[in-house]
Amino acid sequence: MGEHNYHGLKRNQMRKIKIFYLITSTSIGGAEKVLFDLCTGLDKGQYEITVGSLKGKGLIAEHLEKQEIEVVSFGLKEGLGLSGSLTSFFMIFKVARELRKRGVDILHTFLFRANLIGRIAARFTKRPPILISSLRTMEEEKRYQLFLERITSFMVDKYIAVSEKVKEYAITNSKIPADRIITIYNGVRPLNNRVDVDLEAMRRALSISPSDRVVMVIGRLRKEKGHYFLIEAIDELRKKIPEVKLVIVGEGEEEERLKRLVRKLSLTDTVVFAGLRRDIPDLLTIGELVVLPSLWEGMPNCLLEAMAAGKPVIATTVGGIPEVVMDGETGILVPPRDSHALTEAMIRILNQGEEARAMGIKGRKRVEQFFPLQKSLNETEMVYQGMLNRKVLSC
């Protein structure tokens, strides 16, 4: 076995396994939350964990460092054309140097740019680490990403897909062999009843009155999240339920465009832009339902969080969403890009109190049974240990 003296085979005598997580950024997002849960949920007695952020340190990095987990920022600057290509090229050598210095056993990458840079950087190390890449989305608009995924896939030891639909998509479009992909669903921590939340103060801060019917959407303000169609649906909905209020939680490049649409439709008193929030579990207490009008998705954490909080949900039939939401039981599924269908679904839930409550209860039970965080952590650790054992046996 030589130098490969791994913890997975000899638990009582071995050093810690060195895991390096590489991600494009550490701002707030689904992949970043999964990364945080992994770093803080795995046994620190068994694993030595370091996080590498290609960009600067975001909010998730701050939380990780408070948990005494080291975060390395590579300082990647956004750029287009030749400038952007050169920046990414030099980033490969920065990452490779960090991997060599630390003697990494497992390199686990998240998001497209980190996946690509991490794969190439690992080839420049004396003893390449086990390379695991996460597949998290089914983006239709950037076909070049599928091509780059395909031609670099031979470098990856194991893929972790966030849903069965994402796995199928990768097999079909990136030609990745099925036996190299395993599906591990995201998981969430159980949410206790938020009895200590000052609902009145929270409502007042968001200009919401006690009589308002609050609909929430949570996620980055990006094109693929479909906020545009939800705002159009709210415009239609307020004619039938005038007291409706839409709270948009998150930030992103679509924010100004969405605000222009709100002004154009005279919805400034109906739509609240709440910005980036750290108190999502508390915020969910003031909402009657959560809507996710995505155009494409992998496995949205916000739906799991909403269901864990006992909220009925409305979401589109894209990506892994139908693997999470049971249509008519834990929420309602509608086609993407269909504002009218969103309106009708919201009317149904807001006008059917008993049905909505039943959906919320069933949704919470479903998350507790099928999507607990510990299950996701255990399955990921099984992948790590299995790959380590296989590598030792091959030495």
**Pair (157, 249) in one structural domain:** no
Tell me whether residue 189 is exposed, middle or buried, using C-beta atoms within 10 angstroms of its C-beta: 0 to 12, 13 to 18, 19 or more. Answer: middle
Residues 25 and 107 in one domain: yes
Count up the domains in the chain and report the number.
2
**What angle, rounded to 10 degrees, do the helices at 112-122 and 81-102 form?**
50
CATH of the domain at 180: 3.40.50.2000
Q: Which domain holds residue 251?
A: 199-370
In a domain, 317, yes or no: yes
Do 254 and 228 share a structural domain? yes
Nearest alpha carbon to residue 268 among 276, 255, 256, 259:
259
Residue 2, in any domain of the structure: no
pLDDT per residue over 181-208, tens digit each?
999 999 998 776 656 677 888 899 999 9
CA 46, CA 43: separation in Å to the nearest integer? 5
204 CB contacts (<8 Å, ≥6 apart)?
Answer: none
Considering the domain architecture, whether residues 212 and 261 belong to the same structural domain is answered as yes
SS3 category, 66:
helix
Dist CA 366 CA 195 (whole Å): 22
Same domain? For 382 and 357 the reply is: no
Predicted confidence pLDDT, tens digits, the chain (395 residues): 334 444 444 444 468 999 999 999 998 888 999 999 999 999 989 999 999 999 989 889 999 999 999 999 998 876 544 445 556 778 999 999 999 999 999 999 999 899 999 999 999 998 899 999 999 887 655 678 888 888 999 999 999 999 999 999 999 988 999 999 999 999 998 776 656 677 888 899 999 998 999 999 999 999 999 999 999 999 999 999 999 999 999 999 999 999 999 999 999 999 999 998 888 888 999 999 999 999 999 999 999 999 999 999 999 999 999 999 999 999 999 999 999 999 999 999 999 999 999 999 999 999 999 999 999 999 999 999 999 998 765 65
pLDDT per residue over 99-114, tens digit each? 999 999 999 999 989 9
176 with 265, same domain: the answer is no
| Residue 121 belongs to some domain of the structure | yes
pTM of the model: 0.89
CB 159 within 8 Å of CB 176 = yes
The verdict on residue 102 lying in a domain is: yes
Are 168 and 189 a contacting pair, CB within 8 Å? no
Residues with Cβ < 8 Å from 136, sequence gap 6 or more? 30, 31, 110, 111, 162, 166, 298, 299
Shared-domain flag, residues 118 and 170: yes
4 in any annotated domain: no
12: in domain = no
> Do the domain assignments include residue 192?
no
**In a shared domain, residues 182 and 216:** no
The dihedrals phi and psi of 117, each to the nearest 5 degrees, come to -65, -40
Residues 365 and 380 in one domain: no
Task: List, in sequence order, every beta strand (DSSP E) within 112-270.
Answer: 130-135, 158-161, 181-183, 213-218, 244-249
The CB density around residue 248, as the number of other CB atoms within 10 Å, is 25
